[in-house]
Copies of this chain bind each other. A is one copy, B any other.
Amino acid sequence: MVRARKTRLADVAARAGVSRTTASYILNGRSGEMRLSDDAVARVRAAAVELDYRPNRAARSLRTSQTRTVGLVSDSVASGHFASRMLTGASAAARESDHVLLIGETDGDPLVERLLVEQMLDQGVDGIVYATLRHREVAVPAALRQTRTVLLNCADPASGLPAVVPDEHGGGRRAADLVAGVAGPVVVVGDDHEQGTHAGAMRLAGLEEQLAARGREVADVLRCDWSVAGAREAVTSWWGTGVRNGALVCMNDRVAMGVYQALTAREAAIPGAFAVVSFDGSELATWLTPALTSVALPFAELGATAVRLLLDPPPGASRTVRLEMPVVHGGSVPASAAVTR
């Protein structure tokens, strides 16, 4: 662990033969404000490179009260299998803007949440992204009012805070397009208000709306929690209704896995007899056979967008940004069934 003696701005200035002020202006790209000789500018730049000068962030922060740091506090995003990609996107976007990402998880504990937010505030973060594992409504802690905040994968109607969320409703419409051409009834698997209202209800609304536009409808909604076992059981008991073809729209990829289990146990062909589509677009979709066609949650993009929104807020009003849910095509829908808009 060899820690080189740090070179300070003064060193650079000395080597370039200018004052610290001059060096500071040049290095901060504000040389235009001072009409400096091109030569001086070049000398300073060269000196900075030669000395491998890196500004001391603490000193700069002390002066400017900015830290080039953004915090991301979530309930349990890092623990999620797939939602953790919000962190990937967020940290990449932060780095793009020469910022660094601080993370912390509350695991849903309001006390920890308060502590964590205050810790980040203490650190002097330039802003906080408040994220949730599931797309849902939240009531953000009051302390967040002390800094710029962007909501990620959640909304707080009371606060009017800007938010970045997946366009669940549009995703529902896409699912509709995927199955509109399928023979037999369209059946939804998964409770519509599981896991907070947003995802389920909005997907279902979009699905129904677009199906209606195509002269079709949801024939049935199999209520079950969004789990493999729940879905498997729901489909298994639904099997008794005697339907032997159609489209099963699953509320998420795990539900689809349960559907696959129930269907294959009964030797019902996918996509021959039943088309299956779902929401999430997680890696699980690619593990199933045939690969599952899924309307994807663009987690990395969501994370990146939230950080960008935090760091360079667009001039207009602070609005909710809805990101498209792209379709990840697998082989669980007959090629002929998809309808182009």
Select from chain B the residue with minimum beta-carbon distance to A83: B84
Q: Chain B contacts of A174 at CB under 8 A?
A: none
Q: Contacts A62-B56, A62-B62, A100-B102: A3 and B87 contacting too (C-beta < 8 A)?
A: no
* Given contacts A232-B289, A287-B257, A76 and B105 within 8 Å (CB-CB): no
A87 touching B78, Cβ below 8 Å: yes
CB A306 to nearest CB in B, in angstroms, measures 15
Find the B residue at minimum CB distance from A228.
B287
Contacting pair A100 B91 (CB below 8 A): no
* A287 and B254 form a contact (CB under 8 A): yes
Q: In the complex where A100-B123, A102-B100, A287-B228 touch, is A79 in contact with B69 (Cβ < 8 A)?
A: no
Would you mind naming 11 contact pairs between A and B with Cβ atoms under 8 Å apart?
Answer: A3-B146, A58-B62, A58-B65, A78-B87, A81-B282, A84-B84, A91-B103, A95-B119, A101-B102, A102-B103, A103-B103
State whether the Cβ of A61 lies closer than 8 Å to any Cβ in chain B: yes
Cα separation A74 to B44 with both chains bound (whole Å): 35
Nearest-CB distance from A84 to chain B (Å)?
4
Once bound together, how far apart are the Cα atoms of A2 and B149, in whole Å? 12
Q: Does A92 have its Cβ within 8 Å of any Cβ on chain B?
A: yes
- Given A65-B58, A81-B81, A289-B232, residue A119 in contact with residue B100 (CB < 8 A): yes
- The smallest beta-carbon distance between A107 and chain B, in angstroms, is 8
In the complex, A88 Cα to B103 Cα: how many Å? 9
CA gap between A282 and B84 in the complex, in Å: 15
Min CB gap A264→B, angstroms: 7
Encoded as 1 (CB less than 8 Å from any B CB) or 0, chain A from 141 to 169 comes to 00001111100000000000000000000
Tell me whether A261 and B283 are in contact in the complex, defined as CB-CB below 8 angstroms, given that A84-B84, A100-B120 are known contacts: no
Q: How many copies does the complex hold?
A: 2
A82 on the B face (CB < 8 A): yes
A88 in contact with B95 given A54-B122, A101-B102 (CB within 8 Å):
no
Q: Is A139 an interface residue (CB 8 A)?
A: no
Chain B residues near A283: list those with CB within 8 A. Answer: 81
Best-surrounded residue of A2, A59, A228 (most CB of chain B within 10 A): A228
Q: How many residues of A contact B (CB 8 A)?
A: 64
Task: List B contacts of A254 (CB < 8 A).
Answer: 287
Q: Residues of A at under 8 Å CB distance from B?
A: 1-4, 54-59, 61-62, 65, 67-69, 71, 76, 78-82, 84-85, 87-88, 91-92, 95, 98, 100-105, 115-116, 118-124, 145-149, 228-229, 232, 254, 257, 261, 264, 282-284, 287, 289, 300
Q: Is the Cβ of B88 less than 8 Å from the Cβ of A76? A: yes
A228 surroundings in chain B (CB, below 8 A): 287, 289
Q: Which residue of B lies closest to A73 (CB)?
A: B91
**6 closest A-B pairs (Cβ-Cβ)?**
A84-B84, A58-B61, A81-B81, A78-B87, A58-B62, A228-B287
Residues of B within 8 A of A100 (CB): 71, 102, 104, 119-120, 123
